[in-house]
Amino acid sequence: IVWQTPANPDYIFRNGRYVKPYYFEFISHVKNRWAGKTIVDLFSDEFKGRPRDYYESAVKSGRIQVDGQKVSVSYVVQSSQKISHFLHRHEPPVMSWDVEILCEEPDVLTVCKPASVPVHPCGQYRKNTVVGILQAEYGLAPLFPVHRLDRLVSGLLILARSASRADLFRQQIESGAVQKRYIARVIGVFPDKQQVVNANVNYNAREGRSTVE
């Protein structure tokens, strides 16, 4: 699947950064193991996030197309054909308004990633991402994240301006020449001296936070 960041984003700032709903095209190409299936069987078998009735309706209305054309629900797909699935996207808001650029060089961009903003397009987020905001508001594209920070984490984020520069950074990270350091805010009385805690990090998906006891 090719994730496309829509051009000309329309942001709304009101107690956070919102994106006006927009239409988005998910693109995939028929794999060899998909060939010979009907278009509805393909989506029902491979993309189980929606019921079969939805895919039948989407094909009939033209929201699912093959090679840019409407097809019937009994249409049999062939290898390498382009399949488009058009959706009306409603992105969740993020709490931060800005992505602060700390240093801009010809081949490297360093920014302060705010909490609540994902680094790159993923899940429900396309425009409300660090990469999407920098592209829309500063015309900075393409960008290649060298590392990532979780959506709820803020901190220093390095983005390369080319694939070759990104590969060099990744090699340095893998070799230990570049390291990340996290600083956590704590409640209570914390030891004055350095203390090593060997404990599991418990993540609560419902509350969206991690804890260590």
| Stated length of the chain | 213
CATH 3.30.70.580 in the chain is located at 101-175
pLDDT tens string 69-128: 999 999 999 999 999 999 888 999 999 889 999 999 999 999 999 999 999 988 889 899
Could you say which of 53, 107, 150, 192 is catalytic?
Answer: 150
Element spanning 45, H or E: helix 39-46
Rounded distance between C-alpha atoms, residue 194 and residue 204, angstroms: 27
Q: What's the mean pLDDT in 131-136?
A: 92
Mean residue pLDDT of the chain comes to 88
Of 127, 104, 101, 125, give the one whose Cα is nearest residue 114.
101
Q: What's the mean pLDDT in 11-37?
A: 91
Asked about 167 being catalytic, the answer comes back as: no
CATH 3.10.290.10 in the chain is located at 22-89
Rounded distance between C-alpha atoms, residue 59 and residue 63, angstroms: 6
**What pLDDT score does 126 carry?**
87
Long-range contacts of the stretch 60-66 (C-beta < 8 A, 24+): 62/86, 63/87, 64/39, 66/39
CATH superfamily to which 22-89 belongs:
RNA-binding S4 domain (3.10.290.10)
* Count of helices and strands (H, E) across the chain: 4, 11
Rounded distance between C-alpha atoms, residue 154 and residue 157, angstroms: 9
Q: Torsions phi, psi of 154, nearest 5? A: -105, 155
Tell me, which fold does domain 101-175 have in CATH? Alpha-Beta Plaits (3.30.70)
Q: What's the mean pLDDT in 139-165?
A: 91
Tell me the pTM. 0.69
Is residue 42 helix, strand or coil?
helix
Element spanning 155, H or E: strand 155-160
